[in-house]
Structure 1
Amino acid sequence: MEIAHKRTRRLPAVAAQFLLGITGLALITFVCFHLDFGVARTGFVFVILIALVSLLGSSTRASVVLSFLAAACLNYFFAPPLFEFRIDAQDDIERIAVFLTTSLVVSVLTSKLKRSENELRQNQSKLQKAQRIAHFGWWERDFTTKHVSLSDEVSRIFGVQPVDLPEWHGRWLDLIHPEDRARAAEAAAAALRPGGPRYDVEYRVVRPDGTPRVIHSQGDVTWDDSGRALRQFGVLHDITELKQTERELRASEARFRTLVDHASDAFFLYNEDATVLDVNRQACESLGYRRDELIGMTAFDYGPDLTPELLLRIRERLRAGKTVTYDGRHLRKDGTVFPVEVRIRPFWHEGQLLAVSLDRDITARKRAEDELRASEERFRTLVQFSFDVYWESDAQHRFTRQEFAEGLADAPAPGSEIGKTRWEVPYLQPDEEGWRKHRETLDAHLPFRDFELARPAPDGGKRYVSVSGLPVFDGAGRFIGYRGVGRHITERKRAEDELRASEERFRTVVHFSFEVYWETDTQHRFTRVEYAPGLVEAPVSGSEIGKRPWELRNFEADAEAWRKHREALNARLPFRDFEVARRTPDGGKRYVSVSGLPVFDESGDFVGYRGAGRDITERKKAEEALRRSEAYLAGAQKLSLSAAFAHNLKENLYWSEGLYRIWGFDPSRGMPSREACFQRVHPDDRDRVRQVVEEAVRQKQDYTIEYRIVLPDGTLKHLRSICHPSYSPAGELVEVVGTALDVTERKRAQEEHERLRQLEADLAHLNRLNVMGELTASLAHEILHPIATARNNARAGMRFLEVSPPNLAEVMEALACVVKDADRAKDIVGRVRDHIKKAPPRMELFDLNVAIDEVLVMVRNAIENHRVAVRTCLMEGEATVSGDRVQLQQVVLNLILNAMEAMSSVEEGARELSISTELSQPNGLLVAISDSGPGIDPEHLDRVFAPFYTTKTSGIGMGLSICRSIIDAHRGRLWAEANRPRGAIFQFTLPAGVEDS
């Protein structure tokens, strides 16, 4: 439907073009028939008409049909016999055939030229938009003309206007940061030395407004056959934002690495096969390995409890998105084993399952648990055996009976303490205050309990006894003494001390491992909450007691997380790393990871939960910063059509998201193989790419390569890769890290530039053909004159041969004149052929005065027909210039013809044409062509050089535009001024040529 719509819109335009052509054919046929122009001149007018119709319209077919109609008109109205489609004269057949061929060629070339200009304009617009988006621009230096061209984006990057371009090289160096100026200049100079390095440099620039930017510039030099630099074309990329992103990413990675390396727990990064990909400093210190030794090992190498079956179960839980926690052991490099608590969390990276394992050394915790169990066992033994001594005393508190438990260590000799009071036994050593209070209790006949006494032991230490007693009264209520027991509490004392030390150690471990310890009852209400000393923003002590976790206002978690957590609590299952957010007084958030175990009593009844929590706010921030930096990097690569990768000689190790997009691979299927990538390299580039990579790896140097790839849908892309190989201490290749840049658009821009240059050359050639058509009569006269002279000299020679005897000397002189006239005609034809043939520009040294004289010879007949007086004022000596002789003669010829045509409208006054050459400063020549015509409106002086602008009724407006292009290409300048008292002056300058010594 869209194609049909476009065709429908084109029909009126084609119809208008065809109607305009028919009208013009009819009008020209009528006028030329009555003026008796003949076939040749009428055909020339028809060619001009068809060229104009082709330029104004858009249909080649309409122009072709008009060409055939014009040929029919020539046959019917101008080729005898008239008013019949029959031709008797062979010359008329040739003229009509030449006309039809020329008309078809002009129609096709003109249509193609217009179509190409439209496509070129669209492509240039797209290229400029792409350059603005990607901060890419192009630049070109022509060493022959010393002309510098910059794209608009390059001008924006440097902060300059195109008018700043004169002496650009010095201006460019002034914009470069002083610290980078020498390096950039050296790189530019080195690239211009034969066999030198490729121009590829990064530097900083300071714009005129003071804004700093970071630039990456690259360029290639074109050399001639003698090894001289002709031109240099390059691209320039503003990488300021990319550099800033790289710095932020490196800073983020450094902060994250510092955070991980200073953690008290060991971190391991595993792949699915339990191979170590990365570790932190604590992991290396706890196992006794270096980091490079651990990377590449498997968990089996230092996990004596890990089995393939256990790894399979762990992998299944990780694939289900669950966190795995278990207690195991690690084997150090020196062969020792220590217990660890392992917590493994899964995550997916580029379609690959990875796992982060946090392994905590629980040696201290195990030791504390063992000591606690031993202490509890000793205490149980003391309870089971109740006491170690039974004793009785009288009313004066003297021992009357003592019975020690069997096997009691350090027991006194039997009966050695009978008859003595407790304070009379020398080895019982309480403090004085203790004795005083104890005696007051005894004198008051009160019961006492756990009165502790210390006595020396044979080994020099002390043994402790706890004494309890009850007063005894007789039947009359009189006090008769005490009865009691004593327990040997030395071991209990030691156990209590050890227990206190153990509890202190355990409390220290808890405080340094967790930020909060908590306990709950059967209804999940907090019964105990202890925060680590110095914890920032800890709640008020006791404010959370009696509340459930989900009832705390400053705890936040999503509804689904609370639901799953409550299900685990109601099922009385252990949980680990339940994450909640806690609001802070300043409006921010802190994140806490909570773990807990259910507690059961001796009968197996559930009594609540005990657990701990860790503040993971910094870890959360680090993870978020890492994700953000990765997103920034991916975005920067997407904008700049660049990507990153890493590989070795066997496989790809890393592909960024942008690389999948450039190569057309699906990221969900994982990284493609090296062979799959080579299959997409263009067949003509495949062997070269392999050779460059192998050579660079063998020489252990960085390398840059450009190549093409072909996607499955047939899309062709041009890529540029910059690679850096790294090697092990043994000299073996470890990996190749590099970046890839999609330079397809840059290649297309270069091709479009070349097409534009070719179109300009074709248009200049067409202009020369048009001018030579106008000079046909003049050239015919110039050629016929030496032919007629040669004919007269030949007849004279024949007459000299007829006399008797023949005058051979006169015959020789006549024949010499014939040869001279023939050479003169040959020179004229040769100059015409050189002027109209299509050939590439040829730079040579020649005398500009002689070239101008040759042009005047070609237009001599036209000058006489227009009654123009020509005055030349050429500089003395040779006016040597370096350039293309034919192109510069085309400029002079166009300006002379324009002047004569302008003066043809002058009825009164002299028609004067003046041509002069003189030296100009510095080191140049000035050519001036002035006329006495009506002149040019001052408001239109600058517009006369614009394409398709003309003041002539029969012109197409390309002559002066082509002339300016030719002069610009010769490093000169063409301009127009008003003449006095009337007319116009066209002047151009050219650099003076210098002959090689």
Structure 2
Amino acid sequence: MLMQISSFKRSAPQFTFGGMTLAAVTLICVYLQAHFAATAFAYILVVLLFSLMGSFIASSALCVGAIAVLAYYFAPPAFSLRIDGSRDLPVVIAFFIVTIVGTYLMGKLRQEREAARVAAVKLQRSVADLEDREKWWRAIFEHNPAMYLMVDEAGTVLNVNTLGATQLGYTRAELIGRSVLDVFLEEDRALARECVRTCLENVGQTRTWDAQKVRKDGSVLWVRENAKAMLWADERPIVLIACEDITERRRTELALQRSEAHLAQAQELSHTGSFSWKPTTGEAFWSNETFRIFQLDPQTVPPGPQLVIERTHPDDRDSVREIIDRAMRDLSDFEHEYRLLLPDGSVKHIHAQARATRTAAGEIEFVGAATDVTAARTAEQQLRRSEAYLAEAQRLTHTGSWSWDVYGLEFIYRSAEVDRLFGFIPQEPVSIETIRSRIHPDDLPRLQEVQRQAIEQKEERFEYDFRVLLPDGGIRRIHSVAHVVLGSDGKVRELIGTHMDVTEQHAARERLENTLVALRESEQRFRDYAETASDWLWETGPDHQVTHLSDHTSSAGILATDVIGLLRWDIACDLEEEPEKWRQHRATLQAHQPFRDLVYRTQNRIGSPIYVRTSGKPFFDGNGNFLGYRGVSTNITATIRADQAEQELRKAQAELAHVTRVTALGELTTSIAHEINQPLAAIINNAEASLGWMGREAPDLAAARSSVEWIIEDAIRASEVIRRVRALAKKGEIEMVPLDINEVVKDVIALVTRELVSNRVRLRTELTAALPMILGDRIQLQQVIINLVMNGIEAMDAVTDRPRELLIQSSKDDLGHVQLAVADCGVGISEKDADHVLDPFFTTKSTGLGMGLSICRSIVEAHGGRLSMVHKNGPGATFQFALPLHKEAVS
């Protein structure tokens, strides 16, 4: 109905204006008296023209009206609707057909044009909408706070938003046309390639992955990519990738992971595990290190207090249960230490500490840590054992250690041996007056001077002797070595040192000096006897009885008349003492063989024993008959007694050398202790490491075996230090063996290293490789080198204007002997003292006896070598000795 009304509304104007136009055309044609055909043509034009207005009904009505007007006015008969003319009727029919067809066609044309116009309008509207949508989506694409990439099947960038290009440091033009893999990190390119391929195989499905991209400046950012493949207008697939910058999030994750890893590593390194426990719910958490400490599997065993009790040593189980019960009852912090008894039988010491905290839900939760302190407890035991060893060593060597407050004038620390040396009551404080009362008045100024110099920092190391007056009236001689300790302000705070009881050494030196004087007198006496003695001649007959004796026997106290007719073994007094010697002598005489240097003991005319050395040769007559022996005898009593005296002298020298070595060991106590402590500390560390390897969930036996091997090596090294010390300390006979002088030097360096460090002396060695072997006693040669090194250290004690350097050099001299030199840069030796520096009892030190270099010279000369001082151009002195080669090295 509405359509009909609408159609009528459109037809009325068309019919009205069309009728009016037909009327006007009719008047014009009437006025012009137009022909019928011309009027029909005019009517056709009007109808067709108004048919363009759109209504077929109005056009049809106009057509009928035009026919009526044409028939009424212009077809005869006029003024009548009837048409009589045969020629006019076809015109009317043709008019009608043309008008109706034309109107219909014009209507169709108008409809198609209207439809085209409407379509064009719709198309324009669609294009506008499309352009608006394109602008909208482009704005979204450009201004979305995310990186968008569009790539084709080959991975080439087709488009990228400005934000994405800016985030990568490029312009859009620089990225479009490049491979998208160029902006991925090298190790992530395979992942990106695989993900793009998967998207292309599954069009329409979204795929997400995380990757690292490289900016133009080389920096890296993490992105989370959401990719989806879709078909383009030409059915060509493309991949749209949306990238979210997750760099900060990833850094936070990595930082958290690193923090967790560091925490786990820190717990493993410190052997400390963390735990939490809610008493109300029983919920518990253990870190991996806690499970490792308890040797439990976190995957199979739920943690909890009951598990702790089960693992606790039976002797500590009640105390641990009491701690747990009290914590549950009081909800308060707790701390305790207990032992674990592990399935393999080993025992661990655990120190646990927890704090009660309140969670966000208001529940009480214990948060704490459990530390494996087994190593610390073992170290404490070993430290106590080491302290006991040190105390025993101090007692055996009569050496006490102490620390003295230079301002408070009191002991900060003193060992038990110091109390024994001074006669103090152990552990009781002593006043400065008590200390001074125990020091000999003549030695007190020296100790006060040492303290004054220490405060003024005039010296850093002190070595001095003093006497102690004991409560029982005895006197004890003390040799002290000390060095200063500076505080944070650079001022001297204390003196640390040792007191060594050298009373016996001092008495031994006095006895030795007296013995040496007596030995020299005895040696001179017997030397005079030997020089004034003379030989005598003798002859025996075929029966070996004495037939002739020269007159010189009287000088030996032997009268010729007393021995004529006697056999030699009748004269001798050692027949029973040395029967084998006389048996061989008789066999020689029976064989008529010459003999040489037969020594026997007899008596002079006053009954005193004398020693005779005799040599003889058989003689014969012209026929070869044996007539007897002729020979010469010498009174060697003085020589024998001189040899005995020399043996006594060597024994005394060996005794002195031993005393010197023991004294040197006392001075090197700190160095020896350091050399022993180093391998002991290494043993402890390697033992802890071995326990760590064995204590792993999967024990690393190879690493544990390596740690045990290192323990053995360090134990051998410590044993070697003790062997050297025992070898230097023991008394024994000279043992001449083939030696490499460089190895002897290395043994000495191991003993004096600490002394060099404490005196700030730098040791430099120039040891010639592959030197020939020498024949010598290792201990005595070590003593010589130690003495020369210690003398060099002492000579540089006062040097402050140049580096303190000691040089040990081994080489071959011009004669092919092995030569060793020790050079210092100390104060040197004056020309007037140079000729006497090797003499006994000559010394330039206030506390020295002058026997060190003399003993060294005796030892070197006993080895067939020579000790000498070499003059040098620079400061200091050089002592060297050369030793002959071992015969096998020469051959």
Normalising by structure 1, report the TM-score: 0.37
Larger Rg: 2
Normalising by structure 2, report the TM-score: 0.41
